[in-house]
Amino acid sequence: LHVDRQVSGCSDHDGEDVYNLDGEELWFADFIKKEGVEPQPPFIDHITYRDGAYQAAEVNQQICKTNLDNARSAMKDFKIED
């Protein structure tokens, strides 16, 4: 059995979109260089992600930031104790 994991998250100033298999990074979005990176060693059969993976990661970041703003607006009147 294998563990396949995709993580997408954001904050006001940063974001992450990454794919892992069995704890090894297969692909991640480099939002500074504006490209997808496949940091796989040369001695394995290389796994390539489809065209548009980086663009999808950018869209996911915009959705995440919108959701973050919505959650802040919804929670602004809640007391910490609640």
Structure tokens at 55: 């663009």
19 band by pLDDT with thresholds 50, 70 and 90: very high
What are the backbone angles phi and psi of residue 58, rounded to the nearest 5°? -65, -40
State how far the Cα of 17 lies from the Cα of 22, in Å rounded to an integer.
17
Give the pLDDT of residue 66.
96
18 token code pair: 């990454």
Type of residue at 56: A
Average pLDDT, stretch 58-76?
93
pLDDT category at 82 given cuts 50, 70, 90 is low
Q: What is the mean pLDDT of residues 37-59?
A: 91
- pLDDT on residue 7: 94
pLDDT at site 45 = 86
Tokens, residue 74: 């919804």
Of the candidate CATH numbers 3.60.15.10, 3.40.50.80, 1.10.3720.10, 3.10.320.10, the domain formed by 4-75 belongs to 3.10.320.10
